[in-house]
Structures are given as structure tokens and as C-alpha cells.
């Protein structure tokens, strides 16, 4: 059967779970999926921020609901999957966007900071991917996972900036976890890809951008930071049937910063 390009991007009737979905890059992705018809379930720790995000999506005519959860909790992944089963009865798209960072020189880096970053950025993403695949994607014969990595997973860190060794290591792990899961689950028709953003203006980056924004812009071929729209197209491609033959890939959304 021939599908139009519109049909390939259409997510009507599908359900997407977006972690870290109440603000920043997660909210941007949720907007893209909701605009193309997906019912979106937003996950974050703070209920007030979740409510505000869901209200914005609903006001734009999108289907949105929320679940407050701390993904560092070992039981969070299974609890989230059970909630999705009760509310929607299916899950088609998982966006692993929730993230944490910690800045300190490597020689003084606290192990508590290392553990926190790894728990959110790597362990929680794997636990939720595993739970979603087992409960939904494998039985359904189809699923799409999009992990939000970073160009910091490809690169070292400029010496002019505070060290973020755990963040860099965690995002490198996300990129290779994406490849490993894509290879293992491809035969089950589960696609696993990653987005690797450069600098966007978010709550996580606002403090550091205060001192390095112009340096970052000068080092970016397109000469700008990521905008509120720049992640949407790539996220929609990887989540939809328009990207049906793409798996195991990491797409840099960085204005070219990682190519020089």
C-alpha cells in the first residue's frame, strides 16, 4: 500500500511517553508529537510544571496527560509502564529525554554527582526502554524509542569551561546504548535512535550560557543557539513511519558545532 508523506508522519491514535517532558527539549518534542496526532504522556518530577505544560498542549488542541515520577527510583520504570497500561492500553513511542548534569573539575568530581548523572541519564533510560519493550513494543510487533543524547557524547570538553565528565560520559553511553538496543531489537521491529543536541537555551543550560554564550555561538558554523523549534522535525522523523528505515543512529542538532 502506498502512503503519502503526510501519512508517514501522521501519529494519530498513537501514544507517546516523554520523560522530562514538562519543559525545555522534552516539551518541544512533546509539542511536535502532539501536533501530529499522538496522545502525549508527560513525565517529570514537579507536578506544577507538568500541569502547566499539559495545559499548554491541551489549549493547542493536543491530547496530553501527566505522571509525576522521580526516574532515579528503581521502581519508577515499571510503575510508569503500569500507569500507561491503565490509562491508554498501549505505547508506541518512548522519548527518553530526562537528564541531569553536574559541573566540577574531574580531579575533584564528587562520586555523588557522578552517580546522580548516571542514574538519570543512562540507567533510567535503559530501565524504561526495557520495560516498554517487554510490555508493549514486543507484543505489539512495533515501537520507536528516541533517546536524547548530546554532542557532548561525541566530544571532550573545552578547557575554558567547567568540567562535566559525568555528563559527557553518560551521553556517550546513551549513544552506544542506542546502537546496541537497535541491533538487538531490530528483528522485533523496534527502532532505537538518538538526538544529539548542541546548546539550546533551557533551564539546564541557562546558568552556564550566561558566561559562555558568545563563545558557543562563535564556535557554531550556523552562528546561533538551538531554538524552540529546532528539535521538532528530527524528533518527528525518528518517532514516525517517515523514519521507518532509520535505526541505531544519532543525529546531531547543533548548528554544525560538532563538525569543527
Can you give the pLDDT at residue 218? 94
Q: How far apart are CA 11 and CA 8, in angstroms?
A: 8
With cell 528503581, the residue in question is 74
State the residue range of the domain holding 41. 5-249
Given the residues 36, 109, 167, 199, the one annotated as active site = 167
With cell 538518538, the residue in question is 194
| DSSP string of 63-113, one letter each residue | -EEEEE--TTSTTHHHHHHHHHHHHTS---EEEE---------GGG--HHH
Which residues are bridge partners to 145 per DSSP? 94, 192
Q: How many structural domains compose the chain? A: 1
Phi and psi at residue 252, to the nearest 5°:
-75, 125
Domain at 173, CATH number: 3.40.50.720
Q: Are 69 and 46 in contact (CB under 8 A)?
A: no
| 200-234 pLDDT, tens digit each | 988 777 777 878 899 999 999 999 999 999 999 99
Query: Closest Cα partner for 37 from 54, 15, 18?
Result: 15
| 126-147 pLDDT, tens digit each | 999 999 999 999 999 999 999 9
- Residue 18 gets which letter from DSSP? E
- Residue 260 is assigned to a structural domain of this protein: no
Q: Are 192 and 180 in contact (CB under 8 A)?
A: no
Lowest model confidence (mean pLDDT) among 6-15, 82-91, 155-164: 155-164
- Residue 255 is assigned to a structural domain of this protein: no
- Residue 254 is assigned to a structural domain of this protein: no
With cell 536524547, the residue in question is 148
- Residue 54 is assigned to a structural domain of this protein: yes
Q: Is 167 noted as a catalytic residue in this protein?
A: yes
Q: How far apart are CA 5 and CA 22, in angstroms?
A: 29
- Residue 226 gets which letter from DSSP? B
- Residue 256 is assigned to a structural domain of this protein: no
Q: How far apart are CA 111 and CA 39, in angstroms?
A: 39
Q: Element (H or E) spanning 113, and its range?
A: helix 111-118
Can you give the pLDDT at residue 160? 79
How is residue 182 written as a grid cell?
537497535
- Residue 209 is assigned to a structural domain of this protein: yes
SS3 195: strand
Can you give the pLDDT at residue 205? 77
- Residue 258 is assigned to a structural domain of this protein: no
| 89-119 pLDDT, tens digit each | 999 999 999 999 999 999 999 999 999 999 9
Contact residues for 5 (Cβ-Cβ < 8 A; gap 6+): 242
Query: Closest Cα partner for 26 from 102, 95, 100, 119?
Result: 95
Amino acid at each position: 500500500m502506498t502512503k503519502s508523506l503526510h501519512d508517514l508522519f501522521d501519529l494519530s491514535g498513537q501514544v507517546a511517553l516523554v520523560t522530562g517532558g514538562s519543559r525545555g527539549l522534552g516539551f518541544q518534542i512533546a509539542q511536535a508529537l502532539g501536533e501530529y496526532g499522538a496522545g502525549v504522556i508527560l513525565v517529570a518530577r514537579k507536578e506544577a510544571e507538568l500541569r502547566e505544560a499539559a495545559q499548554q498542549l491541551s489549549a493547542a488542541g493536543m491530547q496530553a496527560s501527566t505522571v509525576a515520577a522521580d526516574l532515579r527510583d528503581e521502581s519508577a520504570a515499571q510503575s510508569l509502564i503500569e500507569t500507561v497500561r491503565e490509562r491508554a492500553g498501549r505505547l508506541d513511542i518512548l522519548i527518553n529525554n530526562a537528564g541531569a548534569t553536574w559541573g566540577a573539575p574531574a580531579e575533584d568530581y564528587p562520586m555523588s554527582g557522578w552517580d546522580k548523572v548516571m542514574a538519570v541519564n543512562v540507567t533510567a533510560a535503559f530501565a524504561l526502554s526495557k520495560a516498554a519493550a517487554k510490555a508493549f513494543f514486543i507484543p505489539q510487533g512495533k515501537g520507536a524509542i528516541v533517546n536524547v543524547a548530546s554532542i557532548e557524547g561525541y566530544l571532550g570538553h573545552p578547557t575554558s569551561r567547567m568540567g562535566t565528565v559525568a555528563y559527557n560520559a553518560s551521553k556517550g553511553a546513551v549513544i552506544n546504548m542506542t546502537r546496541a538496543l537497535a541491533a538487538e531489537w531490530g528483528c522485533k521491529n523496534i527502532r532505537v535512535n538518538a538526538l544529539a543536541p548542541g546548546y539550546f537555551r533551557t533551564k539546564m543550560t541557562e546558568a552556564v550560557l550566561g558566561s559562555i554564550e558568545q563563545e558557543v555561538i562563535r564556535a557554531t558554523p550556523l552562528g546561533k543557539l538551538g531554538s524552540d523549534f529546532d528539535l521538532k522535525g528530527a524528533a518527528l522523523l525518528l518517532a514516525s513511519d517517515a523514519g521507518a528505515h532509520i535505526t541505531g543512529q544519532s543525529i546531531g542538532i547543533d548548528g554544525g558545532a560538532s563538525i569543527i
